[in-house]
Amino acid sequence: MGTQNPPRGGPEANRGLVQGCNEVRIGVVGLGYVGLVTAAVLADRGHDVVGVDVDGRKVEALKVGRVPIFEPGLDDLLSENEERLHFSTDYSSLRDAELAFVAVSTPTVDGKIKLDYVLSAARSLSTVLGRDAVVAIKSTVVPGTARRVRSVADREVVSNPEFLKEGSAIHDTLRPDRVVIGSFSASAGDLVESLWSFTGAPVLRLTPEEAELVKYASNSFLALKVSFINEIADVCERLPGCDVNRVARAIGLDRRISPHFLNAGLGWGGSCFPKDTRAFLAFAAQLGEEPKTVRAAVEGNEERPRRAVRTLERLAGPLRGRKVCVLGLAFKPNTDDTRESVAMKVVELLLREGARVVAYDPKARIDLSTSSKEECVREAEAVVIATEWDEFRGIEGLLKGKYVLDGRRVLDPALMDPRFFRAVGLGVE
């Protein structure tokens, strides 16, 4: 059931104020993207927040104001709220917490989700939290996990999945499309709902299993949309003058489809989609089910980097011994995260082909990195644009005389020499 809330204001409208919820003593276990952003935003709303992580170096860095990840606006938000933010490796620092978020990682091993970190956090919380404290799970977990955590932690548990995008995580926390709450106890769910009331977002009160499934269903569907438009892009490349961008815009105007996640490219990566689709497939298989569309989306996505390298070879000829510049290493712009990055997979495939690779990314760095896009392009015969940073838009003149594969559609094809240029989803005349 949804809760109607007042219209949303801008993110600065009520900064530092707690609306609809008295000050709550909050713990956050796991200080990655989700945990740090959650801690920073809630501290900014006036709550006292203690963040705990087993990584001592990360905790010590945060104590002196060094943020271990790049996320736009996060440094400032942490700095502005340092009086309400405390970091520790010791779970006993959470003794006074009324609500403890679990935001630890849930990696996949052989395609199956690993819940060891979640259950370990639950065991540790069981020894320090007061009897009336509530544990809220932010980590992405398969249905049934909240019940296991409730048993281990011996406290009320709420499933409160996150729907953040790296690069806009603060905005997504302040202004989510919805707040999903899966609780066993109405009072525990009420506490979490009250905490997020400042967002003005619709609230969905579900069972814990429903809330856990929502996260996997959402990410699987978004991954499926990207894989779908990439298949349309492949067809467009076979048709003279056909541009997938124009096709995507036309179908996206259909309200039943929407334009979101219809950007063709080299495929999806990052810390969520690959891990979550694999975990969902493995979980469904345990139930005796096989989500065929999700499996097809995964298989199609795995082919994207290989297709890109083959396209470059058809354009430029054999790559062995030739220098190729890869522009972009992060899995998406506005982050330094290279986990499951398609750009990194393209780099690996180029190296296997015997190419000499140089690379540039505004934030991510590897051993092959150059200091600027100009240096990267200047040294190479061929260029692959692998991440859609705004810095790579409008550089058509810089690329003159180079073989170019625009894997993220950031260039204007009209400004490129068709003898030296290919783009994902663009048919050659």
Whole-number Å distance between alpha carbons of 378 and 325: 9
Find, among 422, 414, 415, 379, the residue nearest to 400 by Cα. 415
The reply to whether 165 sits in an annotated binding site is yes
The four Cα atoms 25, 27, 33, 34 give a dihedral, to 10 degrees, of -80
**CA 162 – CA 331 distance, rounded (Å):** 19
Q: For residues 316 and 150, what is the distance between their CA atoms, to the nearest angstrom?
A: 58
412 marked as binding residue: no
Angstrom distance (rounded) from CA 27 to CA 331: 30
Annotated ligand binding at 164? The verdict is yes
β-pair type (156-159, 382-385): unpaired
Q: Which has the closest alpha carbon to 82: 58, 35, 50, 60?
A: 50
323 carries a ligand binding annotation: no
- Nearest partner of 341 among 320, 324, 327, judged by Cα: 327
38 is in an annotated binding site: no
Check the annotation: does 400 bind a ligand: no
**Would the annotation count 96 as a binding residue?**
no
Is 345 marked within a binding site? no
Flag whether 163 is marked binding: yes
How far apart, in whole angstroms, are the C-alpha atoms of residue 304 and residue 312?
13
The question of whether 272 is a catalytic residue gets the answer yes
CB atoms within 10 A of CB 7: 5
Q: Is 63 annotated as a binding residue?
A: no
Q: Which of 21, 236, 272, 376 is catalytic?
A: 272
Residue 132 labeled ligand binder = no
3 state DSSP class of 186: helix
Backbone angles phi, psi at 369, to 5 degrees: -70, 145
- Judge whether 262 is annotated as a binding position: yes
Pairing label, strands 179-183, 156-159: antiparallel
Is 166 annotated in a binding site? The answer is yes
Q: Is 140 annotated as a binding residue?
A: yes
Binding-site residues for NAD(+), please? 53, 58, 106, 140, 166, 275, 339
Binding-site residues for substrate, please? 163-166, 215, 261-265, 269, 332
Binding-site residues, please? 53, 58, 106, 140, 163-166, 215, 261-265, 269, 275, 332, 339
- Hey, which residues are catalytic here? 272
